[in-house]
Every structure is written in C-alpha cells, then in structure tokens.
C-alpha cells in the first residue's frame, strides 16, 4: 500500500480539521434551526388542533346557551313566576318538548323553583326532592344574572358524560323565582377530543375549569380530578390562549390552551415532548449526515488535487536534493516543473557536490558535540541526569539479560544551603565542582558518577553487589573527609545505597536509594544507609 508523505499527511490533517470545524459550526446552526422549526411546527399543530376543538365546543354549546337564554326570558311567552298554575306548567313542559325536538343535542331540559319543585318531561322526581339544593340550581344562582359555567357530570343511569347550563328565572320585579337548566350530551365533544394525529401519536385534548379540575377527557377515569401540573403553568386569566411546556410525572409535555370565558372552561391540547423531538432528531440526523459526507468528500477531493499538483513535485524535489547531497550524478532524469518549485530546483542544482558533503561532515561533528553537551553537567563536567538515566537503563537491561549485579549510590551534601547563604553561590558552585572531582578520582573507572540535581549525586557501579558498594561508599567518605574545601573546611554527605535485585524496577531502585539517603539525613547526616 502506497504510503503518504509527511507533507501529504499534514495537508490532509489541516484540510480535514478545517472541514470538521466548518462542519461543526454549520451543524450546530442547522441543528438549532431545524430544532426550532420542528418545535414551532409542533406548536402550530397544537395551536390549530386546539382552535379546532375550541371552535367545535363553541359551536356545540352556542345553541344550548341560546335555548337557555330564550327559555328563561319573557320572549318565550311563559311567565315562570306563575309556575304553580297548572296551565303555566303545561306551557313550560310543552316548550321543553319543542326545544328537545329542535335541538338534538339536548339530553334533558328542566326547571326548578324556589319552593323546591321540578318541572321536567318524562321524569318523576323522587319523594323529598328539592331542586334548590341541586348543583345546577346553585351554580345558576351563583352566576346570576349570567348563564352558569358548563358543569359536566356523569349520568347515573346511562353513565354518559353530560354538561349542564343554567340561568335564573325572574318575575316581573326581577326577583329570582327559579332556575332553567339544559343538560346536553358530550359525545361529539369527547370524540373530537379523542381524535389522534398521525405525525404525533401522543397528542390529545381535554377540558378543565378555572380551578384546574378536569371536566372532559378522553380517558374516562380522569374527569373530576385535579391536573395541578399543567394548571400551575397556565398564565393568569388575561391570557386568552398560549403555549407552554411542563413536567407531568417525569414526562415532558408541550401544550397549547384556549380559554372559553363564557363557559369557564380551558381547552388544552398537549403532546409528549419526546414525540415531537423524535422526528426532529431524525431530520437533523439525516441532514447532518448528508452535510458531513458531502463536506468530507469535498475535503478529500481537494487534498487529492493538492497532492497531485503540489506535493508530488515537492517529493521529486526532495529526491533531487538528496541525490545531490549524496553525490549522485544522475542529473538528467528529473524534469523541472515550470513554476516556483522548478526555479528552486534549478538554484539547488548550482550548489557543488563537495560543498554539500563538507557541510554534512560539519553537521555530523556538530551533532556529536551537541550529543556530548546534552549528556554532561555544565558545572561539574560529570554526567548529567539524562546520561545517568541512560546508564541505569543499560544496567537494568544487562541485569535482565545476564543477571549481572549492579548497585546504585545516591548522596547529598549536608547543609549545602548554609554554604550558599553564608559564603555565596560562587563558593557553593566551587564546592560542587571539587566534590565531583574528589569522588570521581576515588571511584573505579567502570563506575559512572553523575549530578542528579542541585547538591545530589548518583553513582552507578556495574558488577557490584551490596558489600562491594559499601566498600566504595566508605572510600568516598574517607576521601571527602580528608579533603579541604574552599572557605568551608570539611564537607559531609549523607549517602544511601542499594543493590539491584530481581524484585526491583528502575523506578523502585531509585525510590529505595533516595529513601535510604533521606534516612541518613534524618539519623543525623554524615553517614551511610544501606539496609
């Protein structure tokens, strides 16, 4: 498989990165736009369905309210203040029968009077019946002089849901003598509320009163219960309609509501928010997938074109420079392109082969010098920490291959900060230099001394067990004690040593010897810790 050059990989990485950044920015914008549009569309569906149901209810209830208004007025030709007279009662019942035949939605029509009497066709009230204490009577009294709010209830015999509208009956002096009430079936309303939507299967409608009590609901178990979750989110009465979202038992809902002030009803249309989000997310996913695939294809095509027209000539130029540098004379096989790259190639060809080779030699010498500098401590001219790590790695590898023992010594100058603070850093540096020379002259040629950092030094002793390492440590102590350092007199060190064993790793041997050195300090300094 053909390998890509480094420049090709870089161009590919740059173009792909820019494409991905662009894709992310565009994707965020498009996703936000699509999500907002999706929510707006869902709210529009809820709003339209809610208006449709509200209009249906208005149209359904309007003739019933007009019938109540007409029946309770003097325009009906009935004087309800004379309800005790047989003739008047017959007129009232006859009017009720006409209205029932004219308006098919009427289930019951009846009137109750201040003495508790009830006038209704085809029904005989039970003994002790008192119309005044009935809910429909009290609701009309409370709403006087207006028609009472629609009061849904379930018929005790048919179990169907009905809605009751009532209005007070007045005599010639505008005194209340009774209440006229019409009960209508709500089958048509319930069916309208229960209509499902193909796009949003969980959408449904229900009606509640101004106190949050559910009046009409497709689920027959819910009427006459409170819906506090949504009611607490509906704005004050000044808002005739609006949209909102709320949490119903852990299920996020999106809803639209409309108030019907004449009935005291609030029509609500709601849907599970997850039902709305699902098609939105599917649209976003498919749209973004097409954008990503199209953008990546365009990016890779651009990268390929750049490789053909830019990178390939550069690779040929690289081979040309390498040939000249290596002294090859095959100069006619490369045809310079007619562009800036060709001009650069021609300029490079003018360089002499010997000059380039000489530069290579100088470069190798410089690299060798840099390598030496990078492994030497600049102050003490002994190995630095990097070099010591290389030595340690080599000894660990040799131990693992040939099981040859080696030991590590680590020592630290006691109270070195006091030297710097008392005599200055120049004297401190001189102490470090002379100490390194003393120790280097004391250890074996096979041992490696290095400056670990600050006033800490490490010695790696190949082919050395702990007993031999202890002997070397004692010689070092003796040499340091007998040497006179500038302006300081005697210098002491605290030393720890360990032999590398099969239980050790490079990290653990360094930690162990460091801990021993610090135990030497804690035990009073100027001593060796090897156990």
Q: Quickly count: other Cβ atoms within 10 Å of residue 273's Cβ.
A: 19
Rounded-to-integer distance, Cα 153 and Cα 108, Å:
13
H or E stretch covering 12: helix 6-71
Q: Is the Cα torsion angle 479, 480, 486, 487 positive or negative in sign?
A: negative
Map 255-320 to HEC letters: EEEEEECCCCEEEEEEEEHHHHHHHHHHHHHHHHHHHHHHHHHHHHHHHHHHHHHHHHHHHHHHHH
334 and 320 Cβ atoms separated by less than 8 Å: yes
Spatial CA neighbour of 207 closest among 199, 198, 194, 197: 194
In angstroms, what CA-CA distances link 248 with 235, 259, 270? Answer: 17, 21, 11
Rounded-to-integer distance, Cα 27 and Cα 295, Å:
11
Task: Note the residue count of the chain.
Answer: 531
Q: Quickly count: other Cβ atoms within 10 Å of residue 494's Cβ.
A: 23
Spatial CA neighbour of 106 closest among 55, 71, 144: 71
Rounded-to-integer distance, Cα 178 and Cα 349, Å:
118
Please return the burial class of 401, using the count of CB atoms within 10 Å of its CB with bins 0-12, 13-18 and 19+.
exposed
Which of the following is catalytic: 455, 456, 499, 507? 455
290 and 272 Cβ atoms separated by less than 8 Å: no
Map 311-327 to HEC letters: HHHHHHHHHHHHHHHCC
Please return the burial class of 306, using the count of CB atoms within 10 Å of its CB with bins 0-12, 13-18 and 19+.
middle
H or E stretch covering 431: helix 425-442
Q: In 174-272, where does DSSP find H-type helix?
A: 187-194, 228-231
Rounded-to-integer distance, Cα 443 and Cα 107, Å:
118
In angstroms, what CA-CA distances link 252 with 4, 228, 247, 383? Answer: 52, 15, 5, 70
Q: Annotated catalytic, 455?
A: yes
DSSP states along 362-404 = HHHHHHHHHHHHHTB-TTT-SB-HHHHHHHHHHHHHHHHHH--
Active-site residues: which are they? 455
């Amino acid at each position: 498989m053909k390998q890509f050059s480094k420049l090709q990989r870089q161009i590919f990485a740059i173009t792909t990165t820019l494409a991905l950044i662009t894709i992310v920015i565009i994707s965020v914008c498009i996703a936000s736009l699509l999500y907002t549009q999706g929510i707006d569309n869902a709210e529009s569906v809820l709003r339209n369905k809610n208006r449709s149901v509200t209009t249906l209810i208005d149209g359904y209830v309007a003739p019933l309210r007009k019938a109540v208004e007409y029946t309770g007025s003097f325009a009906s030709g009935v004087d309800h203040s004379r309800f005790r007279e047989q003739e008047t009662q017959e007129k009232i019942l006859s009017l009720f029968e006409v209205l029932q035949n004219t308006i098919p939605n009427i289930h019951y029509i009846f009137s109750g009077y201040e003495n508790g009497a009830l006038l209704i066709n085809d029904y005989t009230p039970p003994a002790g019946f008192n119309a005044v204490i009935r809910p429909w009577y009290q609701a009309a009294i409370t709403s006087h002089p207006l028609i009472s709010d629609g009061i849904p209830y379930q018929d005790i015999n048919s179990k169907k849901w009905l809605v009751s509208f009532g209005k007070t009956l007045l005599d010639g002096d505008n005194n209340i003598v009774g209440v006229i009430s019409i009960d209508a079936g709500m089958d048509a309303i319930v069916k309208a509320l229960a209509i499902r939507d193909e796009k949003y299967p969980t959408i449904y409608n229900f009606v509640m009163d101004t106190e949050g009590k559910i009046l009409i609901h497709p689920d027959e178990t819910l009427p006459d219960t409170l819906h506090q979750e949504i009611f607490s989110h509906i704005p004050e009465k000044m808002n005739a309609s609006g949209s909102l979202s709320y949490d119903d038992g852990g299920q996020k809902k999106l809803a639209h509501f409309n108030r019907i002030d004449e009935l005291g009803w609030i029509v609500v249309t709601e849907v599970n928010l997850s039902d709305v989000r699902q098609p939105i997310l599917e649209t976003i996913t498919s749209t973004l997938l097409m954008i990503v695939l199209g953008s990546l294809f365009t990016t890779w095509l651009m990268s390929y074109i750049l490789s053909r027209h830019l990178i390939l000539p550069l690779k040929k130029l690289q081979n040309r420079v390498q040939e000249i540098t290596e002294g090859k004379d095959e100069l006619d096989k490369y045809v310079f392109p007619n562009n800036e790259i060709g001009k650069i190639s021609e300029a490079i060809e003018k360089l002499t082969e010997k000059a380039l080779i000489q530069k290579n030699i100088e470069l190798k010498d410089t690299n060798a010098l840099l390598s030496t500098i990078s492994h030497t401590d600049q102050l003490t001219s002994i190995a630095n920490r990097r070099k010591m790590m290389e030595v340690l790695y080599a000894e660990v590898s040799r131990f693992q291959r040939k099981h040859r023992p080696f030991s590590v010594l680590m020592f630290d100058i006691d109270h070195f900060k006091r030297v710097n603070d008392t005599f200055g850093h120049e004297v401190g540096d001189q102490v470090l230099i002379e100490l390194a020379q003393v120790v280097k002259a004391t250890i074996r040629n096979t041992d490696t001394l290095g400056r670990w950092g600050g006033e800490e030094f490490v010695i790696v002793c190949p082919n050395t067990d702990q007993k031999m390492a202890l002997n070397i440590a004692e010689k070092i102590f003796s040499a340091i004690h007998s040497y006179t350092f500038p302006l300081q007199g005697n210098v002491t060190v605290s030393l720890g040593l360990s032999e590398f064993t099969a239980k050790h790793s490079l990290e653990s041997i360094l930690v162990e010897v460091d801990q021993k050195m610090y135990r030497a300090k804690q035990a009073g300094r100027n001593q060796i810790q090897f156990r």
